[in-house]
Every structure is written in C-alpha cells, then in structure tokens.
Amino acid sequence: MNLPRGALGVLLVAALVVAGLVLPRWLVFLLALALAKGVAVLSVVVLMRAGLVSFGQGLFFAGAAYAAGFAMRWWGIREALLLVPWSVGLAVGLGALAGLLVARYRDIFFAMLTLALSMVLYGVLIKAYGVTGGSDGIRIPTPTLLGLQLSGDDARLVVYYLAVAATAAAAWAVGRYAAAPAGYLAHAVRDNEVRVAYLGAPVSRIVYAAFLLSSGLAGLGGALTALNVGHVDPGLAYWTTSGELVFIAVLGGTGTVLGPLAGAVVYELIRSYAFKYAPYAWQMLVGAAMLLIILFLPGGLWSPVERVWRRAQG
Amino acid sequence: MKTPILEVEDLTLHFGSITAAERETVIVYPGELVGIVGPNGAGKTTFLNLITGYLRPERGTIRFWGQDVVGLAPHQITALGVGRSFQIPQLFLTLTVRENVLVALATREGRWASVRRPLHEPARVQAADEVLLQFGLLAQADRPAGELPEGGRKLLDVAMAFALRPRLLLMDEPTSGVSAREKFQVMDTLVQALREGGITALFVEHDMDVVRRYATRVLVLSNGRILADGVPSEVLEDPEIRLAVTGRR
Amino acid sequence: MNQLLIIAVDGLVFASWLFLVSVGLSLIYGVLRILNIAHGSLFAVGAYAGASLVVAYSTAGLWAPGALGVLLVAALAAGLVAGPVIERGIIRWTYGREPVMQLLVTFSVFLILEDLTKLVWGVSPYYAYQPYQLLGQVRIGGIDYPAYSFLLLLVAALTGVGLWWFVRRTRFGRVVVAVIHDPEISVAMGVNLSRVYVTTFALGSVLAALGGAFTAPMISVVPGIGVEVIVLAFAVVVVGGLGSLEGAAAGALLIGLVRAAAVHLLPVLELFTIYLVMAAVLLVRPLGLFGRVEARRI
Ligand SMILES: Nc1ncnc2c1ncn2[C@@H]1O[C@H](COP(=O)(O)OP(=O)(O)OP(=O)(O)O)[C@@H](O)[C@H]1O
Ligand SMILES: [Mg+2]
C-alpha cells in the first residue's frame, strides 16, 4: 500500500459521504446496494487471486441476509450494529463448515461444489416455508442505530453510511491482506501449489483461510443488502446472484481492490436501466460482455486505467 | 560417529511394471555433498520425490535427524529443514523474481499466514536482494518470473530453496538449464553457499565432470536400484558403472 | 419386498435420466478437458425444441407415435447446430488457457443461451405431454408406472450401447480414446485435434439436447430448467470420475438408487441425497469411482 492509493481511498470515502447528502434518495439507495454488492464481489476477488472461482457465494450472501432476518423475527433484535456482526459471524461459520469440504478442491471441482452448496441452501429456503417464509422470504423491519429509532429517509441514509463505512473497512482489510504474506501465499497457490508446499507452507490451510475471509466478505455484503432492501428472499442464494458477483469481479479485474468496487457501482447503475428495457436480454448482455472481457481484456475493464495510473507514478 | 541427517532403508516403489525404487538404502552424514547419477529414467527424481513426501513408498523407512517421516506431507518435511529445488523449475510465474524469494523468506519465518505487516518489509526485501545478488538475479528482480529465460528460472528455483536456509538441501539437476560454460561458475557459487551455510546437500547431476569435481560422494542409480555408493574418483573409474551411467565405456 | 422392487424400478428410471443428461458432459470433459457449464442450457434448448415441435406435430393431427421420432429429430437438430457453432465460435479460442478462465467462458455461454432460449421460445411454459399420454401405463408388482419411464430407460440404454460401440468399434472412436489418453502423443501420430474437438463437442451437445427432448414430455418446459441439470450432471460425473463414460453410468446408477431409496424411506433427505452421495464418494475417492490419478511430474 503506497501513500497515493491510501489518499485515493480517503478521497473516495469523502466523496461517498458528500454524495449521501446531495444525491437524490433513489440514487443513494442504489449506491448503497452497489456498495453492498461490491463488498460481496471482493469476496469473489479474494478467491480468484488464489486461483479459485466460486459460483456459490450466494450461500454466504443469503446466509447472512437470512441471519439478520431471523434475528429480527425471533429475538426482536433491530440494532444494526448487532445485526451486521452477527450475520457476518454466521456466514464465517458457514464458511468454516463448507470449507472443510471444498478447500481440498480446485478449478472446476471448487466451482461446482460451491455452486451445489448454494443451490442446496436455495432449495432449503424455498422448501422450509414455516421457518423461511418460502419463496416470499422475510420482511426486515427498519433497523435502529445505537438504539435510536429511525424513520423512512433517515433510516435509508443511515444504512447508506453504514454501507460506506463497511465498504471502506472491507476494502482496507482486503488491501492489507493482499499486500501481506498471507495474500501473496494465496496468489502463490494459484501459480504453483507444489512449490508452496516445498517452501513449507500448508496449501490447504492457505486456501481455507482465503475461503473464510471470502465467506465473511460475502456475508457482510448480504447483511448490508438485507438492511438496505428491507426484505430477504431465496433469490439471494440462487446461482444468478453468485454468477453476477463473478461477472463483476471479471469486469473490475482482480488485481486491485478499487476495480471490483467501481465495477459494482457501474454494473448496478447500468443494470437498473437496462433491466427495465431488456429484461430477457440482460443475462445475454452480461454473458457477451464477460466473454469479450475474458478474451480481450483479461485484467478487467479497470486494467487500462490501472496501467495509466502506474505509469503516472513512474 | 556423527549422527546421520538422512537414513533411508529398503525404499521401494513401482509405477505399474516400472521399478522406480527397489530396496534403496542410504545414510547421509552432516557435511556431505552427495552427487546422484544415473541414466534417464533411473529413478533419481523419484528418489527425491519419495524422501520429501511427494510420493509415498510401498515399503521402507525414511528418517531425517532420526525422525520417521513416511506419511508426512512435503510441507511438513520441508518444515523440518529439508529444502528442495526441481528438475523442472517450480516458480510463481506471475509474481516478480523478488516476490518469489520474498514468499520463500516469509514462509521460512513461519509467517505464511501473517497479515500484520506487508510482504515487502524493508528488512525482508534486503534479505531477498542479497539472495538474488548471490545468484546473479538482482538485475531481473522486478520482472515477472515467467519472463525469465530457462537458465534464469533454474537459478531462481535453486535460490528459493537456498532462501529457506535448510539444513539439508536436495537439488535436482541444478545446472541443467545453464550453459556449459557457466556450469562450473554456478556450481562454485552453490558450493560456496553450502559451505557458508553449513548445509549438507544431495544433487542429481548428469555431467560426470561436475560430480567428480564437487561431490564428496556419489550414488549411482539404475532401474531404481543403487548400483554403487562411494568416493567419485573410485566409483566413476569402474568401467561397469560408467557403462551403466553413460552407455559408453 | 414390494418396496424394494419399487425402489429398484424408480431408481433405475431416475438413473437412466441422470445418465442421459450427464454422459455428454463427461465425454466433452474427457476429450477437451473443459467442463461445459453450457451443457445445462443445451439440455434446455433440446427440451424447448422437442416440446415446441411435438406441440406443433400433435396439433397438426399427424400419426401420434411419430411424436417420439419428432423428439429425436429435435435433439439432433438442436445439438448439431448449437454444438459446432459454440465450439468453433467460442470454445476453441480458450484451448490451452487456465481451467478457471475456460470455466468462465462456458459460464458466459451458459448466460447467453439462457436468455436466447427466452427470446426464441418466450417465457410461458410448454406442455408436450402427448408422447407421455400416448404410451399409457404398465403394471409392475401391482403398481402402475407410466410406460414413458421405460421408454426413457430404453433410450438411455441405447445411448449407452451406442456410445460404447462408437468408442470401441469405430475408427473415429478409437482416435477419441487416444486423445482422452494423451493428446500430445495423438497429435504426434497425426490426429487432427480440431476435428476431434468439434465432433466431440457436437456429439456431447446432441446428448444434452437428447436428454432435454426426452425429458420435455414429463415436465412443463420453463426458463431455468438448465441450471439444476448442470449441477446434477456434474454430481453424477464427479461421482463416476470426470471424463469416464463407464463412470457416468456408475454414478447415475448409484445416485439414482440412493435417491429412490431416500424418497421412499427418508423423504426429508431427498433434496440432499445427491450431494451426500457426492460428498461421501469424494471423501473416499477424491477422483470419483473411475477417476485416474495423474500426479504432476516435477
Ligand atoms: N508419476 C509417475 N507416474 C508413472 N511413472 C512415473 C512417474 N514418475 C516417474 N515415473 C517413471 O519412473 C521412472 C523413473 O523416473 P524418474 O523421473 O525418477 O527418473 P530420473 O532418474 O529422474 O530420470 P531423468 O534423468 O530423465 O530425470 C521412469 O521410467 C518414469 O517414467
Ligand atoms: Mg529426473
């Protein structure tokens, strides 16, 4: 982490804070949604840097969102500062369990096993109507902040700032992880597992650690989404949710932290329009865009910008 | 008598009908520099794979410093102080040359899971650059390892094993990608580094001149069997052995 | 005793369906070393093609049993058009790249095909029940079964035998086996890899479409049926061992029977049986029942 990048981060957070005050309400809502998604995209990025593609981040995304819903429904907890850690904790717990199975696998095995696990959760959420509300899902009432009752617009703004704070924290944490030995060893696993083992480091534990971090990030994204939308449904666990995260990761590139976050904002803005006009062609556009990026811009849309940035720094 | 570093007994492995190791028995003492020679397919690499846990023997025992290691994984055996370099260089091709060494150093410090400080800590970078300087790779430090030519890859591969500062170093054809002219130069560097670090080493080598000049002892393998084990000047004079190793009298 | 019979029959029927939808995936993986996620959409395309053609055929009031032939034609047409287009147009550009990247490419193709089917066939369901009704019921052990289930069994068996014959008895089949075993040596011996790849991909696509077409009469054909299929097919193929045709059959049988047992004995578990079987098999044999270990040379 060099100084200019840290400064850039502070600048961006300041811009987001101001944005909350000056932008129209619907756009603030959209931004909060995009940031939540961006955090979840970081969860995909962390794995991709270790050479792993997960098509099942919905498992943690939905798991955390439902955890928030249950906490409200069963225990009447509405405090945002309790709900978020609880949901993230649950997602990490899920990750610790799932990781026991999937951390041994790579490539297509890893991708398909994670997909299968998330689809199992989806099936459970649909079928266990009595607990989960089936395909209707659960309503999430307006949260409180430090015990303060919030109403309508205030609540939205508070959730937005929560999302900004959480995103900044997640970005900082991922940046730090990526620059530390732990992050580099994950990258090294992607390049050459055999060598990692012959340096004396346990490959499976490196992958497991990356998986835990990833499940926590996906959970954070899910919890923020639940608070922002005010409703959770099984669609959060469906493969389309996970696939979208993978797409945004490819779009934003996996080399930086800001790339995927910027990708999430751009994606969410475009989608909110495009989906209206072409509901049955949206996935097709996403697929085509992903193909083009993978084949022609493997570093993501951000990579040319990154290159210019590096050159400017000398 | 000093206590042995490595004791291998009765080591046996087959790949289908191929005998890759058959009743191999070897004891290595501290300070030795053992050359391993033999024709292609003799089982030299397999021997290293077996004692480092990459392959599991059908039979036999392997002990490092008296500790039985059969069944341990490569990362556990490496952590005991056994370093290894590879016939086909095993690098992190999308990391820079320096980062390859930094990762090795961080792992050696036991910090492979650390998030507390960056990989590029000044002290560690300095240590990495010293290693790179020693192996003549400093000029390429910021290039991705994937851009190195064959000879450079081989050197970096050995450098990473060295960076672990192992007590025992196993090298699989350390000079094979290096031009004939630079062979002795590279070996001089290696042997000096071994001596300075007090490292015992085994190295696989096809060039008999290199073995004669540097090894204190030579193991001759053929068809998974140890044909001879002794002082190079004596063993390599035996016409039978020379025939087995080089196919020429 | 009776219950055992029921489980066996149900299990066999389900297994034959599983075999049909997964064997193409395994074949393509074996030869191209690519997991084709779009396999699920090719199944959906086959189902839509079959359903819409059967509906049209039946409305026209033609000879009723001909509908079965229509299903076959639909599958062949769908697979033979889509397969080569996808392989030549997209997949071939990814040969030799990292598996993760290939996976993302087939995932992109999957996304595109999902929407293409919606654009071509709309989003309202298709019901092509005519072939199903036509065959009526059969009585086994005092229980009525739809005869169509046994047709499925027959189709799966014929497919299996056909593939076996193709692989063991034809020249091209033996080339395919050689490529599965060692692509480099095959090329050195003069095999035209591009041709093998495009043919295999077409064949795999036909198999996916065949599974879809013959499934269509049993279900309402709606958007989204492809996803479940790719997950199921992957489970089957992994249990059997990726790239092995015998493995696909063994995996289908095992999963089919276990699921049938669960349905009748422990219904709560039904949703999970497949994954439980998969997890159990992978724990004991990480590469599946028929998987071969390939240690990397270092
Ligand atoms: N993983 C494996 N699976 C099957 N056979 C193997 C495997 N590894 C090695 N072999 C076979 O075992 C024998 C010994 O191989 P090994 O690589 O140990 O020979 P080597 O002495 O290192 O030869 P070279 O001088 O060519 O490096 C060879 O016949 C080789 O083909
Ligand atoms: Mg060798």
Nearest by CB to A180, from B52, B94, B114: name it: B114
B241: CA distance to ligand 2 center in Å?
A: 19
Query: What pLDDT band is residue C12 in, cutting at 50, 70 and 90?
Result: very high
Residue C30 reports pLDDT greater than 60: yes
Report the pLDDT averaged over residues A132-145.
79
Strands B33-37 and C220-221: unpaired
Least confident of A248-262, B164-178, C200-214: A248-262
Residue A307 reports pLDDT greater than 80: no
- Give the residue, B64 or C271, on which the prediction is more confident: B64
Please check whether residue C73 lies inside any domain of the structure. yes
**Do B98 and B63 belong together in one domain?**
no
A181 and B112: CB-CB below 8 Å? yes
Positive or negative torsion for Cα C164, C167, C169, C170: positive
DSSP letter for each residue of chain B: -PPPSEEEEEEEEEETTEEEEEEEEEEE-TT-EEEEE-STTSSHHHHHHHHTTSS--SEEEEEETTEE-TT--HHHHHHTTEEEE-SS----TTSBHHHHHHHHHHHHTT-TT--SS-TT-HHHHHHHHHHHHHTT-GGGTTSBGGGS-HHHHHHHHHHHHHHT--SEEEEESTTTTS-HHHHHHHHHHHHHHHHHHT-EEEEE-S-HHHHHHH-SEEEEEETTEEEEEE-HHHHTT-HHHHHHHHS--
Per-residue model confidence (pLDDT) at position B155: 92
DSSP letter for each residue of chain A: --HHHHHHHHHHHHHHHHHHHHS-HHHHHHHHHHHHHHHHHHHHHHHHHTT---S-THHHHHHHHHHHHHHHHHH---BHHHHHHHHHHHHHHHHHHHHHHHTT--HHHHHHHHHHHHHHHHHHHHH-HHHH-GGG-EE-PPPBBTTB---HHHHHHHHHHHHHHHHHHHHHHHHHHHHSHHHHHHHHHHH-HHHHHHTT--HHHHHHHHHHHHHHHHHHHHHHHHHHHTEE-GGGGSHHHHHHHHHHHHHH-SS-SHHHHHHHHHHHHHHHHHHHH-TTTHHHHHHHHHHHHHHH-TT-TTHHHHHHHHHHH-
- Give the residue, B143 or A82, on which the prediction is more confident: B143
CATH number of the domain bearing residue B21: 3.40.50.300
Please check whether residue B19 lies inside any domain of the structure. yes
Q: What are the residues whose beta carbon lies below 5 Å from ligand 2 (ion)?
A: B 44-45, 87
**Do B26 and B111 belong together in one domain?**
no
Please check whether residue B71 lies inside any domain of the structure. yes
Per-residue model confidence (pLDDT) at position A4: 66
Task: Supply the mean pLDDT for chain B.
Answer: 92
Q: Pseudo-torsion of CA B61, B66, B71, B77, nearest 10°?
A: -130
Nearest by CB to C298, from A104, A194, A290: name it: A194
Please check whether residue B210 lies inside any domain of the structure. yes
Per-residue model confidence (pLDDT) at position A128: 82
Report the pLDDT averaged over residues A218-225.
95
Q: Where are the domains of chain A?
A: 31-238
Q: Which domain holds residue B22?
A: 6-91+165-246
- With a CB cutoff of 8 Å and minimum separation 6, the contacts of B212 are B232, B233, B236
| Percent above pLDDT 90 for chain C | 42
Please check whether residue C51 lies inside any domain of the structure. yes
Q: Which domain holds residue C173?
A: 25-225
B95/B87 Cα distance (integer angstroms): 20
Per-residue model confidence (pLDDT) at position A1: 44
Residue B20 CB less than 6 A away from ligand 1: yes
Q: Pseudo-torsion of CA B163, B169, B175, B176, nearest 10°?
A: -110
Report the pLDDT averaged over residues C20-49.
93
| Domain tally, chain B | 2
The alpha carbon of C9 is separated from its chain's Cα centroid by a whole number of angstroms, namely: 20
Please check whether residue B215 lies inside any domain of the structure. yes
Per-residue model confidence (pLDDT) at position A6: 74
Ligand nearest to the CA of B206: 1
A244/A35 Cα distance (integer angstroms): 14
Cβ burial of B153 (10 Å; 0-12, 13-18, 19+) is buried
Per-residue model confidence (pLDDT) at position C140: 79
Q: Report pLDDT digits (tens) over C77-128.
A: 999 999 999 999 999 999 888 888 888 899 899 999 999 999 999 888 989 8
Please check whether residue C103 lies inside any domain of the structure. yes
Please check whether residue B15 lies inside any domain of the structure. yes
Does pTM surpass 0.80? yes
**Do B26 and B70 belong together in one domain?**
yes
B189: CA distance to ligand 2 center in Å?
A: 22
Q: Report pLDDT digits (tens) over A31-53.
A: 999 999 999 999 999 999 999 99
Query: What pLDDT band is residue B177 in, cutting at 50, 70 and 90?
Result: confident
Per-residue model confidence (pLDDT) at position A252: 84
Please check whether residue B158 lies inside any domain of the structure. no
In DSSP terms, which residues pair with B228 in a beta bridge?
B220
Residue B157 reports pLDDT greater than 90: yes
Q: Report pLDDT digits (tens) over B1-26.
A: 678 999 999 999 999 899 999 999 99
Residue B17 CB less than 6 A away from ligand 1: no
| Domain tally, chain C | 1
Per-residue model confidence (pLDDT) at position A302: 66
A200 and B116: CB-CB below 8 Å? no
Residue C224 reports pLDDT greater than 90: no
B120 contacts on A by Cβ (under 8 Å) = 179
B225: CA distance to ligand 2 center in Å?
A: 15
- A202 in contact with B at a CB cutoff of 8 Å? yes
Q: For a ligand 1 pocket test, name from B19, B46, B208 the mutation site with the most ligand atoms within 8 angstroms of its C-beta.
A: B46
Per-residue model confidence (pLDDT) at position B55: 94
